[in-house]
């Protein structure tokens, strides 16, 4: 029975990869990461049957696992080569963390909610990702001990671009962060070159609020 379920999930995962390709995701490495990563292993049991829908789904603690297309757009926008050291702000379910683990050399990820941190840690371990380091804390201030980072991904929407994260970018580094109100944001790509920081708008998005010292106050 378990084998039958696993087979169904594998088929659904392959269909999701094809859907992402049809929606304009062309980076072969990104598509391969989705093919290698079992999204249902990062979701509460009661909603696993929806794991390969292209939609965001609640995972508890007021948080969601983002729409797969949004993850794919994030990862393709960063144009990762496999050699990067990356900081992820907002581990959440750990799904994007494992996607990243297939695309870069090292992943450093921060989660502020202890329940999610513990669940994600087990899911990441189960996925076999060995190049991931985790921290329970305020992601808006980054993780200076291991800075600078070649890329930083923020998985929640803040009122402004956290300066602490900009400071932790390496030369040529890219920061992706949703900026706007608590209900709607614009995905911003921030690049650091020659000491100059340039930002540009990528797309309208909608994420849960980025809570922390350089984000929204805790409600």
Structural domain contains residue 96: yes
Does residue 31 fall inside a structural domain?
Answer: no
Average of per-residue pLDDT values in the chain: 93
Catalytic, out of 29, 56, 61, 66: 66
Q: Indicate the pLDDT class of residue 19, thresholds 50, 70 and 90.
A: very high
Residue 153 in any domain: the answer is yes
Q: Is 4 an annotated catalytic residue? A: no
- Total domains in the chain come to 1
CATH of the domain at 119: 3.40.50.150
pLDDT of 1 reads 39
**pLDDT tens per residue across span 120-148:** 999 999 999 999 999 999 999 999 999 99
- The Cα 196–Cα 131 span in angstroms is 30
Q: What residue numbers bound the domain in which 76 lies? A: 54-205
Query: Does residue 147 lie within any of the structural domains?
Result: yes
Short-list 44, 43, 37, CA closest to 17: 37
Residues 43-97: tens digit of each pLDDT: 999 999 999 999 999 998 888 899 999 999 999 999 999 999 999 999 999 999 9
Q: What is the pTM of this model?
A: 0.93
């Amino acid at each position: 029975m378990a084998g039958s379920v696993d087979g169904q999930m594998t088929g659904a995962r392959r269909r999701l990869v094809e859907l992402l390709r049809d929606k304009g995701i062309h980076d072969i490495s990104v598509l391969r990461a989705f093919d290698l990563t079992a999204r249902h292993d990062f979701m509460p049991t009661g909603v696993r049957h929806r794991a390969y829908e292209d939609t965001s789904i609640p995972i508890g603690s007021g948080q969601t696992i983002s729409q797969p297309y949004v993850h794919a757009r994030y990862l393709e926008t960063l144009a990762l080569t496999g050699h990067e050291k990356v900081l992820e702000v907002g581990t959440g379910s750990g799904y994007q963390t494992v996607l990243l683990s297939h695309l870069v050399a090292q992943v450093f990820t921060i989660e502020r909610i202890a329940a999610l941190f513990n669940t994600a840690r087990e899911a990441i371990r189960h996925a076999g990702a060995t190049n991931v380091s985790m921290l329970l804390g305020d992601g808006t201030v980054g993780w200076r001990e291991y800075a600078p980072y070649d890329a930083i991904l923020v998985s929640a929407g803040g009122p402004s671009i956290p300066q602490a994260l900009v400071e932790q970018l390496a030369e040529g580094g890219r920061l992706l962060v949703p900026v706007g109100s608590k209900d709607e944001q614009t995905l911003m790509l921030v690049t650091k070159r020659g000491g100059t920081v340039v930002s540009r708008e990528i797309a309208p998005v909608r994420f849960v609020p980025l809570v922390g010292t350089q984000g929204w106050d805790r409600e």
